[in-house]
Amino acid sequence: MTTQPNLLPVETFNIIVWCWIAAAIIIFPFTLKLTAPYGRHSKSSWGPMISNNLAWIIMELPSLLIFSYFAIIKGSLSGLIEILASSMWVIHYFHRAVIFPFRIKTKGKKMPISIMFFAIFFNSVNGFLNGYWVGNLVPDNVLTTGLIFRMVSGIIIFVVGFIINQYHDKILIGLRKSSNNEYKIPYGGLFRFVSCPNFLGEIIEWCGFLIFIWSLPAVSFVIWTIANLLPRALDHHKWYRKTFSDYPVKRRAIIPYLI
């Protein structure tokens, strides 16, 4: 447990997290009805546009930087839990903010600046809540058999989710690379069962992070991740079915055989 002085009383911090969770629950029904206008669903009617690649860098960096500031710089990585949790977060968001934008083949594609700013706010809040908790509020734990099992399980689930996400992102990037920036039906891996296995992998990642760290901010992040990615997957699924007459009829949106 870090010995750094807390900026916020624990009670106040928890109230903030609960309010953030409530916001996700309130917003979720609206995200199910509203298609976010970026990527294949991009619309210029949402205001000024910005390069898709540049927007990804700008909107993903806050999560990496703010988490690192509160967990690593202002906090104290004095224990194994803090070090591993920080590593998991940084690995994901370093890839998402620094590597992924240069891998995607979206030449000429643009995103509304308004969407970028929504994402900046979302990533900033999640980066702060999780970074602050890891840097200041991780309790002192005796490494019991049960705790070690939970931590190992969480890491394994996180790694599996990360691999699923990366593998299927690679398939999608490969399709764009070989089709002159046009969309095609993806095949291979879990695309056999769902339209968005990359989103499923990301949800699995953060479920693994939650199991590992077992904190209220991690709960809020899983809820927000589902609230964002489940509607997005449903929108992608509908778009695939509408765009391709030969789209596999047995595919679901994000969870095999269910959704």
Reported as a single tens digit per residue, the pLDDT across 218-234 is 999 999 999 999 999 99
Say if CB 115 and CB 36 are below 8 A apart: yes
pTM of the model: 0.90
d(CA 246, CA 235) in angstroms, rounded, equals 18
| Domain boundaries along the sequence of the chain | 10-243
d(CA 71, CA 21) in angstroms, rounded, equals 21
Q: What tokens does 212 get?
A: 């590992």
Q: Residue 124: name the closest of 186, 58, 212 by CA.
A: 58
Reported as a single tens digit per residue, the pLDDT across 61-102 is 999 999 999 998 887 777 889 999 999 999 999 999 999 888
d(CA 94, CA 65) in angstroms, rounded, equals 9
Residue 112 pairs with which residues in a beta bridge? 49
- Flag whether pLDDT at 15 surpasses 90: yes
* Axis crossing angle, helix 80-94 with helix 145-177, rounded to the nearest 10: 10
Q: What integer pLDDT is reported at residue 2 of this predicted model?
A: 43
